[in-house]
Amino acid sequence: MLYLIAAYWPFVLLALLFGVAVGWWNRDPRNVDEMTAWLERGRDGR
């Protein structure tokens, strides 16, 4: 495992940071109604 981390550490770091952003956003109360609404925009285009 360590040799993998040593070889691919930039990608591992990137995945970790992306995970931190997602985890942070998931805890944020605004994602409950706003982000979901944005992702699930209806067929009426709103």
Partner 1 sequence: MARAGARRAVIWHILEVWLLLVAAFVAGCLLGSLINLVISQSPMARPQAAFADAVGGTIDVVKHRLGLAPAWHPGRYPPEERHFEDRLAGHLEAYDHDSDAVEERREGPSAIESMAEQPELAPEVAEPEPEWVEPEQDADWREPVWEDAVAAAVAAPTVVSPAARPLPEAEKEAEPEPEPELPAMRPAGLAAPRNGVPDDLQRIRGIGKKNEELLNSLGIFHFGQIAAWTPAEARWVAAHIAFPERIERDDWIGQATILATGGETGYVKASDRKAKAESEDPDMAGRLTD
Q: Which residues bind partner 1 (CB under 8 A)?
A: 1, 4-5, 8, 11-13, 15-30, 32-34, 36-43, 46
Shortest Å, Cβ 10 to partner 1: 11
Give the C-alpha separation, 21 to 34, whole Å. 17
Shortest separation between residue 31's beta carbon and partner 1, angstroms: 8
Query: What string of DSSP letters covers 6-34?
Result: HHHHHHHHHHHHHHHHHHHHHHSTHIIII
CB of 5 to partner 1, least distance (A): 7
